[in-house]
Chain A
Amino acid sequence: MLAYIARRIVTLIPILFLISLVSFIVIQLPPGDWVTRQINQLKLSGIQVDEGEAMRLTKLYGLDKPGGERYINWMKGILLDGNFGWSFQWNMPVNRLLVERVPLTMSISIASLIISWLIAIPIGIYSATHQYSVLDYVFTFIGFIGLATPGFLVALILAWVIFSSTGFSPLGLNSNQFLDAPMSIAKFLDMLKHLILPLLIIGLSSTGVTIRVMRANLLDELKKQYVITARAKGLRELGLLLKYPVRMAINPIISTVGWILPGLVSGEVLVSIVLGIQTTGPLLLRAVLEQDMYLAGSIVMILSTLTVIGTLLSDILLAVMDPRIRYGGVSK
């Protein structure tokens, strides 16, 4: 088991290197850079910028150096000093921007994943064991609505409904009176109140899928011989359900942990914009539009790294759950 984990971690190194390279190349791909974009905007607003000034700015930002050199400098900063570079657009270090938002994004993603599992897995189990019952149809209906409705639309409607009926504005992370206040229990509670809506909306979008996956997997497993064996042994129905078929049916859901993370992040961009929450989604969107290359590159790289780590975690979890995976490379 430990050997399996160690082997998987070693294979991470070249993958992470490739990710950093690809992140850098991707943000270099659009024509032009931060300076040409700024100069264009100045020209649009009627201000003439001479060639020398443009050259000076390009040199100042280090954009005149060849790509390879810039990549090496960027990576050196990250690996040696933990410095992700400078954001042109915000005029501050990328680190400071990320420190504010990455933890928030991660907590929202993980919390909404947990919420979505807590809702979806029991419903999926119920739907499979009570196939074609009234409640199964109700859950199927709700699940499909959840699948088909864009999250930002639900966010808009719910925010309006809540505001118009209770007078509480669920937008942003804190109510106005707490904006500049230091962290306190009252402020924390206020933050939780604001987070419920985005958590539910972001979580629900994946809930529909998870219900369908859980239901279909469990229906397959329930027909298997080992379930009948367990029943013939005289086990209690609920006990055997949880010990045998559910354990099998849940595997594919665990294996999606890795790529549910980026899905949540990109799905959450629109919801976060609508609800005014400062996560990495809106930040990445603006950084790409403004060609703020180090900021955009860092976000892309961090999200990809998280995906890879998520996949590793889900693989380890699977190996813990399923002996056939655990012994896959060892015996025979």
Chain B
Amino acid sequence: MTNDNNVLIEVRDLKTYFYLYEGTVRAVDGVSYDIRKGKSLGVIGESGCGKSVTAQSTMRIVPSPPGKEVGGEIVLHLEKGPVDVLKLNPNSDEMRAIRWKEISMIFQEPMTSFSPLFTIGNQITEAIKLHLPGVSKKEMRERTIELLDKVGIPQPSRLIDVYPHQLSGGMRQRAMIAMALSCNPKLLIADEPTTALDVTIEAQILELIRGLQEEFGMALMYISHDLAVVSEMSDEIMVMYLGRVMEKATANEIFNNPLHPYTQALWRSIPAIEGDLKRLETIKGMLPSPYQVHKGCPFYSRCEHRMPGLCDEARPPLYQVSPTQTVSCFLYDKSAKAATPAVARPEAAAS
């Protein structure tokens, strides 16, 4: 554990498995990360790589059964001292007090994040009533109107009383953000908040989240499969693949010096705006079945630089390449004689 008192949340070796009829899905399999107070962490990866489950585990809202956090720790540094969230019962008063008050979340689907049966105002004040006791009805309403105004909803004193189906998708996502901010959380998790919106609205929402993060001094965990968006939103970026962390670095490093073959492949599959038109490269092979258990690196079957006998036999640890960049790949093992970092090894890939 670090003694750094600027750390808000420390996640160590988090494992969240889903026990399904067809087999066990290791949705999150040994993920570690820190988020410092007021800073932002971007999480990127394909669908099914465990980004959302990681976030849900932090709030202990993984549907259980079939999901279960089977190992690791999530230490949250609160004012009263550190708490390991994984040791709490998900239904306990202590855990419920952490939700929304300390960590809140914006979801992917603005269309369904609100219940259609109650007004926007009802659902926002509900959170305030729950976590800030002693606030009068009038104050709650004023606070809600203020929040709606802050997220750019026009006529907030009228729209507080509308039902979700009367708002557009973008407006609903703004209302969702207002709800997420209602109790001044220390950490805001944004789980692909713009996936369901069109591009112009997306830009507005990103702008809004960034501005509010600064204003409220919150830490931000931004989850997306959009590389450009994540690097714009985050100080630090974590690349995930099949429930594991592949690479972790500052946004700059990930952009200019991606080290892991998977990160490199991701970059190559983005169309370039400048230069000649080229056929877009894709990552070879298929995403392995989620039920498969990987003894070695999960990216082995699709990796261009794979080293048979090494990569498929043991799980690569995280190698510290620079003070801020870590990568989980044997190519960066300084002790191994084969190690020539970031240089392609075509003879190994040929097998």
- Is there a chain A Cβ closer than 8 Å to B131's Cβ? yes
- Is there a chain B Cβ closer than 8 Å to A321's Cβ? yes
- For A224, A228, A232, A331, the residue with the greatest tally of chain B CB atoms inside 10 Å of its CB is A232
Are B117 and A321 touching (Cβ within 8 A)? yes
Are A234 and B97 touching (Cβ within 8 A)? yes
- Is there a chain B Cβ closer than 8 Å to A42's Cβ? no
- Is there a chain B Cβ closer than 8 Å to A237's Cβ? yes
Are B166 and A248 touching (Cβ within 8 A)? no
Number of A interface residues at 8 Å Cβ cutoff, please give it: 23
- Is there a chain B Cβ closer than 8 Å to A177's Cβ? no
Cβ of A171 to closest chain B Cβ, rounded Å:
46
Binding site secondary structure of chain A: helix
Cβ of B104 to closest chain A Cβ, rounded Å:
7
- Is there a chain A Cβ closer than 8 Å to B77's Cβ? no
Cβ of B105 to closest chain A Cβ, rounded Å:
5
Q: Give which listed residue, B113, B116, B131, B176, contacts A322 with CB less than 8 A.
A: B116
Are B113 and A324 touching (Cβ within 8 A)? no
Q: Residues of A contacting B112 with CB < 8 Å?
A: 224-226
Cα–Cα distance between A244 and B117 once the two chains are bound (Å): 8
Q: Give which listed residue, B91, B117, B165, contacts A248 with CB less than 8 A.
A: B117
Are B59 and A244 touching (Cβ within 8 A)? no
Nearest opposing residue in chain B for A245, CB measure: B115
B80-119 Cβ-contact flags toward A at 8 Å (1 or 0): 0000000000010000111111001101110011111111
Cα–Cα distance between A224 and B127 once the two chains are bound (Å): 19
Nearest opposing residue in chain B for A225, CB measure: B112
- Is there a chain A Cβ closer than 8 Å to B314's Cβ? no
- Is there a chain B Cβ closer than 8 Å to A82's Cβ? no
Are A228 and B117 touching (Cβ within 8 A)? no
Are B99 and A234 touching (Cβ within 8 A)? yes
Q: Residues of A contacting B97 with CB < 8 Å?
A: 234
Q: Residues of A contacting B109 with CB < 8 Å?
A: 225
B300-339 Cβ-contact flags toward A at 8 Å (1 or 0): 0000000000000000000000000000000000000000
- Quick one: which of A176-226 are within 8 Å of B by CB? 224-226
Are A225 and B116 touching (Cβ within 8 A)? no
Q: Give which listed residue, A233, A243, A248, A322, contacts B127 with CB less than 8 A.
A: A233
Are A225 and B96 touching (Cβ within 8 A)? no
Are B163 and A324 touching (Cβ within 8 A)? yes
- Is there a chain B Cβ closer than 8 Å to A61's Cβ? no
- Is there a chain B Cβ closer than 8 Å to A7's Cβ? no
Cα–Cα distance between A258 and B325 once the two chains are bound (Å): 66
Cα–Cα distance between A244 and B166 once the two chains are bound (Å): 18
Are A234 and B96 touching (Cβ within 8 A)? yes
Q: Give which listed residue, B91, B100, B116, contacts A232 with CB less than 8 A.
A: B100
- Is there a chain B Cβ closer than 8 Å to A247's Cβ? yes
- Is there a chain A Cβ closer than 8 Å to B135's Cβ? no
Interface size class of B (residues with CB under 8 A): 20 to 34
Nearest opposing residue in chain A for B95, CB measure: A234
- For B114, B131, B179, the residue with the greatest tally of chain A CB atoms inside 10 Å of its CB is B114
Known: A233-B126, A235-B130, A323-B163. A226 touches B114 (CB 8 A): yes
Are B100 and A233 touching (Cβ within 8 A)? yes
- Is there a chain A Cβ closer than 8 Å to B348's Cβ? no
Known: A248-B115, A248-B117, A322-B116. A232 touches B165 (CB 8 A): no
Nearest opposing residue in chain B for A231, CB measure: B61
Q: Give which listed residue, A234, A322, A327, contacts B130 with CB less than 8 A.
A: A234
Nearest opposing residue in chain B for A237, CB measure: B91
Are A232 and B115 touching (Cβ within 8 A)? no
Cα–Cα distance between A151 and B151 once the two chains are bound (Å): 59
Are A230 and B115 touching (Cβ within 8 A)? yes
Cα–Cα distance between A237 and B96 once the two chains are bound (Å): 10
Nearest opposing residue in chain A for B131, CB measure: A234
Q: Residues of A contacting B105 with CB < 8 Å?
A: 232
- Quick one: which of A284-332 are within 8 Å of B by CB? 321-324, 327, 331
Q: Residues of A contacting B116 with CB < 8 Å?
A: 226, 248, 322-324
Cβ of A157 to closest chain B Cβ, rounded Å:
39
- Is there a chain B Cβ closer than 8 Å to A45's Cβ? no
Cβ of B144 to closest chain A Cβ, rounded Å:
14
- Quick one: which of A60-108 are within 8 Å of B by CB? none
Q: Residues of B contacting A322 with CB < 8 Å?
A: 116-117
Q: Give which listed residue, A228, A247, A321, contacts B61 with CB less than 8 A.
A: A228
Cα–Cα distance between A231 and B104 once the two chains are bound (Å): 11
Q: What are 22 pairs between A and B in contact, CB < 8 Å?
A: A226-B115, A228-B61, A229-B113, A231-B61, A232-B99, A233-B104, A233-B130, A233-B179, A234-B131, A235-B130, A236-B96, A243-B118, A244-B115, A244-B117, A247-B115, A247-B117, A248-B117, A322-B117, A323-B163, A324-B163, A327-B163, A327-B166
Q: Which A residues contact B (CB, under 8 angstroms)? A: 224-226, 228-237, 243-244, 247-248, 321-324, 327, 331
Further pairs besides A226-B113, A232-B61, A244-B115: 12, Cβ < 8 Å: A225-B112, A228-B63, A233-B104, A233-B127, A234-B96, A234-B127, A235-B130, A237-B91, A243-B118, A244-B117, A327-B166, A331-B166
Q: Which B residues contact A (CB, under 8 angstroms)? A: 59, 61, 63, 91, 96-101, 104-105, 107-109, 112-119, 126-127, 130-131, 163, 165-166, 176, 179
The 10 closest A-B pairs by CB, nearest first: A234-B99, A225-B112, A234-B96, A226-B115, A323-B163, A233-B100, A233-B127, A244-B115, A234-B100, A229-B113
